[in-house]
Amino acid sequence: MIFLIVLLAIILIIAFSSIKIVKQAEVYIIERLGKFHKIADAGLTIIIPFFDHVRSVVSLKEQTMDIPPQGVITEDNVTITIDTVVFYQITDPAKAVYEIQSLRKGIEYLAITTIRDIVGKMSLDSTFSSRDVINNQLRILLDEATDKWGCKVNRVEIKDINPPVDIRDAMEKQMNAERNKRAAILQAEGEKQAAITIAEGQKEAAILQAEADKEARIRRAAGEAEAIKEVAIAKAKEIQMIYETIKKADPDEKLIQLKSLEALTEIAHGEANKVFIPFEATQTLSSLGAIKEIMKDDKK
User: How many CB atoms are located within 10 Å of the residue 130 CB?
Assistant: 16
The pTM is what?
0.55
Closest CA to 135 of 59, 67, 61: 67
Overall average pLDDT of the 280-284 stretch: 51
Closest CA to 287 of 250, 254, 244, 264: 254
In a domain? residue 240:
no
In a domain? residue 34:
yes
Number of domains in the chain: 3
Please indicate, yes or no, whether residues 23 and 104 belong to a single structural domain of this protein: no
In a domain? residue 297:
yes
Overall average pLDDT of the 28-47 stretch: 88
Q: How far is it, in rounded angstroms, from Cα 81 to Cα 70?
A: 5
Please indicate, yes or no, whether residues 25 and 110 belong to a single structural domain of this protein: no
User: How many CB atoms are located within 10 Å of the residue 150 CB?
Assistant: 20
Please indicate, yes or no, whether residues 154 and 93 belong to a single structural domain of this protein: yes
In a domain? residue 97:
yes
In a domain? residue 223:
no
Please indicate, yes or no, whether residues 67 and 134 belong to a single structural domain of this protein: yes
CATH assignment at residue 117: 3.30.479.30
Tens of pLDDT, residues 194-236: 888 888 888 888 888 888 888 888 888 888 888 888 877 877 7
Residue 272: domain span:
251-300
In a domain? residue 261:
yes
Overall average pLDDT of the 3-7 stretch: 76
Please indicate, yes or no, whether residues 42 and 75 belong to a single structural domain of this protein: no
Question: Is the per-residue pLDDT at 153 higher than 90?
Answer: yes
Question: Is the per-residue pLDDT at 151 higher than 90?
Answer: yes
Q: What's the confidence (pLDDT) of residue 87? A: 95
Residue burial 83-104, b: 16+ Cβ < 10 Å; e: rest: ebebebebebbbbbbeebeebe
End-to-end CA distance of the chain, in Å? 204
Question: Residue 295: which pLDDT band, with cuts at 50, 70 and 90?
Answer: very low
Question: Is the per-residue pLDDT at 298 higher than 50?
Answer: no
